[in-house]
Amino acid sequence: MKQLAHTKQSAQRRWPAIHGKATYSFVPAPPELSVLRTHISTLEERIERQAALIESLAEKANHDSLTGLLNRRGMENALNKSIENFQRYGHQGALMMFDLNGFKQVNDVYGHAAGDALLRRVADVLRDNTRGTDNLCRLGGDEFMVFLVGAGLSQALIMARRLRMALEQAPVNYDGNILTANISVGIATLEEAPSLPELIELADSRMYRLKQALKSIRA
């Protein structure tokens, strides 16, 4: 008790009461600490800006500048993840590959600006008719890919028909010229080709065979 009393008295001597309330004396922070805090805050802001820049550059590196779809690099990254999920968990998926029939003629007759307008329209139709979980890609030129996450062959065939009809119903009016995208689609599933090279090669070969068959019919 005497020790407690002594402690209490010592405390009272350190912090004397004024009108029944304790007063406290604070030692002001040295100027160097204020400068350090400002420096740290500046560094944090700089790091945030650099992180945002890196994220923006990564986004651009994986996307096609004309259409906003994934480019080849971005699509291969997405496909590798889906292939890994298929191998680990058995999650299905189907790759659709297509190009635009007669696209070279559009560029030759109406100019590359008209061709670009048609490519952007194709990208818009793809976005409007697929799910947010699907992967959409412009490989380059007039070649596109669509990967349907969780889909099998039957669902991919339905989607191919749906996209063909949607594109036919969404022509581009370029300087009074009506331009319509007509596509030939090749389809391959992860079940058939469980690796990236096999998947792309199978879809591409089926697209080519379909184009050749259509040419022979028209001839």
Between 217 and 168, the higher pLDDT residue:
168
CA angle (96, 102, 105) in 5-degree steps: 145
Q: What's the maximum distance between 2 C-alpha atoms anywhere in the chain?
A: 113
Contacts for 195 with CB less than 8 Å, ≥ 6 apart: 83
**pLDDT at res. 50:** 72
Partners of 187 in the beta sheet?
Answer: 96
Q: Hunting for tokens 């405390």 — which residue is that? A: 11
**pLDDT at res. 49:** 77
**5-63 pLDDT, tens digit each:** 444 444 444 445 555 555 556 667 677 777 788 878 888 888 787 766 566 556 668 99
**191-206 pLDDT, tens digit each:** 999 999 999 999 999 9
Cα distances (angstroms) measured from residue 104 to each of 30, 97, 107, 110, 124: 73, 18, 5, 10, 20
Between 217 and 87, the higher pLDDT residue:
87
Active site residue 64: no
**pLDDT at res. 16:** 52
Catalytic residue, chosen from 64, 99, 134, 142, is: 142
**pLDDT at res. 125:** 98
The answer to whether residue 95 scores a pLDDT higher than 90 is yes
**143-192 pLDDT, tens digit each:** 999 999 999 999 999 999 999 999 999 999 999 999 999 999 999 999 99
Distance CA 145, CA 89 (A): 24
Question: Can you list the positions of beta strands (E) in the chain?
Answer: 17-18, 21-22, 93-100, 135-140, 143-149, 172-174, 177-179, 183-189
In CATH, which of 3.40.50.920, 3.30.70.270, 1.20.1250.20, 3.40.50.2000 is domain 72-218? 3.30.70.270
pTM for this prediction: 0.76
**pLDDT at res. 30:** 76
In the chain, where the domains are located: 72-218
**127-144 pLDDT, tens digit each:** 999 999 999 999 999 999
